[in-house]
Structure 1
Amino acid sequence: MSSISQTFAVYGESGIGHYGEAIGDQMALGPKLVKHKILDAVDTIPLRDSDHVFTIGDYGTSDGYVTIPFMRDIIVRVRKRQGNLPVQVVYEDQPANDFNSLFKRVHGLIPVPRTYLKDVSDVFVMATATGFYDAVLPPGSADVILCFGAAHYLSKPVLKYQDSFHRYPNATPEESRLVAAQAAIDWETFLLRRAKELRSGGILAVTTAADNSKEQVKGLRHCVQQQEEDMLNTWRRMRDEQKITQEEFVNTNFDRCTKYPEECTAPFKGSNSAVTNQGLQLVSAELVKVPCTARLSWREKLEKDGVDDRDTWAKTVIAQLRCWTAWNFIRALSNKRCTDEKEALVDELYTRIEEEMAENHPEDYLSDSMINFIVARKV
């Protein structure tokens, strides 16, 4: 049995597709920007026998919002080359995931995005709650494995930062060293597991939240940089105002490590690379800036209708932020507090951030995402 700890949870009611509704468009934009490269890589997978089952894994799927359109594109692309072979889609996430929403999206009960099951036949869908730091699929069984926006979460908590939430922006050198060491172990483990699961010629495509240590992207150091800074600074002020305790502040940790580009490629390098010795070779690696979808919508409304709707812009950014961060704040608060008190404190946190956003122009607010995009092939 896996001993992996839960290091992430989506905030929101189960079964209503909350993740996709709140942050799905933002999370889907990065993979959309590189979709053509993923499909081109899929075209290189060797042809199979007619009785072969083509297997696609979607790891860290959440409620499926991001990858459902990808599945249709991959299936159509593969069948164009290989005929109407059966396809198996395996969705993976941790046991606490909102699988209820996933199944509803895949089977069309939540109609957005349109499920591929309405358009293609002979597709067999299943799900597993085995964490991706363990073996998910049998050896040599997968043709394509996707993992979008999940592999920067750690397999287990590492430490309690004294004045930061994770490595960015204010971890000490020792804190940074410890979390980077665990992240390196986890990333290599992830890659070794996928190396065993992929068939010869199979493709792995991964996006992870990125840190831009060398400022390769001008004006942006970190994924959703300003939201990260605003959360930390606002929580500090609430501590200084004694709304939360110092212990609760220190207990607020994000068990994740946004990766520098060189950290993503490191396991593939060197003659002693365990990853390449297992047959997984790096095809491409790049740092991709992903525009803030809330700002894009604000700009479109301004240009098209002449409406400067900053309220909707701010509310959308906060809804996205709350979706993937609120769980961390709630779990950090003392169990001596009742649920309503915890919720009220976290509501105050996001309300304060939203009010402070009003003092910024949307074009100046550093809310863009930044991702590492990795493609690897089993040879």
Structure 2
Amino acid sequence: MTSPRDKGSHLPFWEAGSGHYGDTLGKQSIGASSSSEPLILSFLDTIPVQQGQVFTIGDYGTNDGYCSMHVISSIISQLRKKHGESLPIQIVYEDQEKNDFNSLFHRLSDETSYMSKFSNVYPLATNVNFYKQCVPDGTCDIILSSIATHWLEKLDMQFKDTYMHYFASEEEQRRFNTEADRDWTKFLRLRARELKPGGLLIVLHDGMCDNFQASSFVRDATPTSSRDSTLQEKNKLVEYTISDLGSTVIDLMLDFDSAWKQLREEGVISQKEYDDCIIAFAVRTATQLTSPFMEDNSPVREAGLSLIHIDELVQPCVFKRLWLKKLLEEGVDDRDSFAQNMVTAHRVWTQSSFASSLSDMRSAEERAAILDKLYLTLMKRIAARDPRSYKSDYFVGRLVARKE
């Protein structure tokens, strides 16, 4: 059972130590960190390193470490080449108190982990959430956060007739943006305290276009839209630009919205349960990511943090690629597997929010059955789409800042 303070939050529901995140959603999320590895390594040599001091890497919002393991290994390798074996390297893994740290520890013990390749390396973990200070002032040389900072500290509002912010009314979005901006500024100020002078903060964030309007992406009720029908004979995926995609996994968000509404219309959930559902996360534009640095009398700049890089990219959906591979190699158009992969992955971060809106008067069995029906409804909707054009790609905003 979730508590009031957990409402809208992402909480793990799987068996601790099972590696479920890396086996599901991690397979899609890892693309953001993997494709950004060259960017991260290109800035690494700009960090001042003093012999005799510990070099500390922070991995914030790590989950089970699946998405960052290779990047951190590459950072250690580059440091070893330049500074030798004598440089002690410390990795601080951060996530919320209910995180599946057991899976992280299992990954660190695996023979493929960087721990089996390098010596004088010391991984640690903290369950202090990143809206608090996690380490003492001046501890970290580099702090990484990949697809995590969209989660808000809390959200003191609800939306009318939707579960997330960019389907909300203009007035609701204004109120939401005020809260989201507050949290983002708080995150940046805390990291500024934790970084050493010359240290770097690198954030990979779920993004959307500055001019994004969710209403322009609402599809027809028919499962196969006109854009799908033009691709029936083409054995390739649509390669979306940033402006075409609009926002991260936008078609999935639309299908989630429709599936939750369907349960209300069928009487599976009450109007109150529908209204009570909210996911406390913020998909941000590049302007929203950079605005704390641009403001007059910026508290972020006053804390010593300066923006040095911002860009955006589209990270293709791994599950669409798996679907296409099976189509080309086996001649099998397995849309059911595509839908199942998508739903299993994105159940990871959504289930706790939907569960927290269900009445406490319901039995555990009834609540579980409702959640299963929601994700089955979602799976059927996705299976009716053409994966070639399904907008399940990640829109990633990439920000680099330096502590002066």
Answer whether TM exceeds 0.5 for this pair.
yes
Structure 1-normalised TM-score?
0.94
* Equivalent pair of 2:90/2:121 in contact (CA under 8 Å): yes
User: Corresponding residue for 1:21?
Assistant: 23
2:230 equivalent to 1:228: no
Output the CA distance in 2 between the equivalents of 1:94 and 1:5. Answer: 13
**SS of the residue 2:242 aligns to:** coil
Q: Does 1:206 align with 2:207?
A: no
Which of the numbers 130, 134, 155 marks the counterpart of 1:157?
155
2:16 aligned with 1:36: no
SS in 2 for 1:91: strand
Gaps of 5+ in 2: 213-240
How far apart, CA to CA, are the structure 2 residues paired with 1:221 and 1:342? Answer: 34
Q: Secondary structure at the match of 1:168?
A: helix
8 Å CA contact retained: 1:11, 1:325: no
Give the structure 2 partner of residue 45 of structure 1: 47
Q: Does 1:129 align with 2:132?
A: no
Runs ≥4 in structure 1, deviation > 6 angstroms? Answer: none
Greater CA deviation, 352-361 or 322-331? 352-361
Q: Is the 8 A contact 2:185 2:292 kept in 1?
A: yes
- Give RMSD over aligned pairs: 1.5
What is the alpha-carbon distance in structure 1 between the residues aligned to residue 309 and residue 125 of structure 2?
A: 29
Percent of residue pairs identical = 36
Say yes or no: does 1:373 pair with 2:374: no
Deviation at 1:5? 4.4
Picking from 254, 270, 283, the partner of 2:279 is 254
Question: What amino acid sits opposite 1:197 in the alignment?
Answer: E
How many residues are aligned here? 370
Compute the displacement of 1:271 (Å).
4.4
> What is the letter of the counterpart of residue 258 of structure 1?
V
The answer as to 2:56 corresponding to 1:59 is no
Which has the larger displacement, 56-65 or 212-221?
Answer: 212-221
Give the Cα–Cα distance (whole angstroms) in 1 for the partners of residues 289 and 71 of structure 2. Answer: 23
Q: Within 5 Å, give how 1:326-345 maps onto structure 2.
A: 326-345=351-370
Q: Deviations over 1:237-285 (max 9, x none)?
A: 2111211001000111001111111000001114411212222111111
- Give the residue type in structure 2 aligned to 1:331: S
> How far apart are 1:378 and its partner, in Å?
1.1
Task: Give the drift of 1:306.
Answer: 2.9
User: For 2:97 and 2:88, how far apart are their aligned partners in 1?
Assistant: 28
Cα deviation code 1:17-58 (max 9, x no counterpart) = 111111111111011111101111111111312x11110011
Using the alignment, how far apart are the partners of 2:39 and 2:157 within structure 1?
37
TM-score by structure 2 length? 0.88
One of 85, 91, 94 as aligned partner of 1:92: 94
Query: What does the per-residue CA deviation read over 1:170-220, in whole Å, with 9 as the maximum and x for residues that have no partner?
Result: x12222112111111111111111111111111111011112242571322
Q: Which residue of 2 aligns with 1:77?
A: 78
Aligned match of 1:175: 172
